[in-house]
Chain A
Amino acid sequence: MNGIHDMGGTDGFGKVEPEANEPTFHGAGCGWGRVGGGQGLAPGRGAESR
């Protein structure tokens, strides 16, 4: 059952690491988080851009 996408129940990935005070987008220095995040968000969200 182990597969690259279907991760449910797969062993060996370790602990979850919650992040205190996480930023809205990571990569503040070069802005990759905003750019990549924006492109990922874009499909179906035209209403936000109007």
Chain B
Amino acid sequence: LTEKGYVDPAALDRIVEAYETRIGPHIGARVVAKAWTDLAFKRALLEDANKAVAVLGMPNRIGDHLVAIENTRATHNMVVCTLCSCYPWDVLGLLPIWYKSAPYRSRTVKDPRSVLADFGMTLPASTNIRVWDSTAETRFMVLPMRPEGTDGWDDEKLAALVTRDSMIGTGFPKRPGELNQ
């Protein structure tokens, strides 16, 4: 591709570098932390995530429709792409290998609780699990529940609790005591 002039290796290097250094789940974590502290932002995020994220100065590079879905005690959300590996790159960065693996894609829609068990995660039987199947046009990020014991924390401190997996639905945010782990 390079010999034929279709690809400029320097341009590819800069794209790769952007995903290694600048674009990652810390962006989504900022979005989640703001939603935890700013009710008006949370409402805006759940209503139109593209618009709300853009207000924070985060561009939408792919042009896809981003949907944020809120976890509650009654409902836990999980994101998958059964067809391939559609993922909210702009807010979560590069996707983990397991997200595009056959076991995750095949089982999440059929038996999500057993998939969560593979991540060491157990939910109460009374919590419903809702699975969101992504497409190239519509991608999802989970708004996890704010951990207890974080009253009065500012956005920056809260963002440090937000893990990538908690925004896919395959993990919980860190608890305050786990902050340095």
Residues of chain A having any CB pair with chain B under 8 Å? 5-11, 13-19, 22, 24-26, 34-35, 37-39, 41-42, 44-50
Contact = CB atoms under 8 A, between A and B. Distances in A.
B83 A38 contact: no
Given A9-B110, A26-B97, A39-B1, A49 B14 contact: yes
Interface string B95-118: 011100111111111100001001
Interface residues of B, number: 42
B107 A42 contact: no
Nearest to A26: B97
B98 A19 contact: yes
7 contacts: A8-B109, A9-B82, A9-B106, A13-B107, A39-B12, A45-B62, A49-B11
B118 A18 contact: yes
Nearest to B84: A5
A38 B61 CA distance: 15
Given A11-B106, A13-B103, A13-B107, A42 B83 contact: no
Contacts of B119: 16, 18
Given A16-B103, A18-B118, 19 more contacts: A5-B83, A7-B102, A7-B105, A8-B82, A9-B109, A9-B110, A13-B101, A17-B118, A19-B96, A26-B97, A37-B94, A38-B12, A38-B13, A39-B1, A44-B63, A45-B62, A48-B14, A48-B18, A49-B11
B153 interface: no
Contacts of B176: none
B15 interface: yes
B48 interface: no
A41 B106 CA distance: 24
A17 B98 CA distance: 6
B25 to A, nearest CB: 12
B171 to A, nearest CB: 9
Contacts of A48: 14-15, 18-19, 23, 61
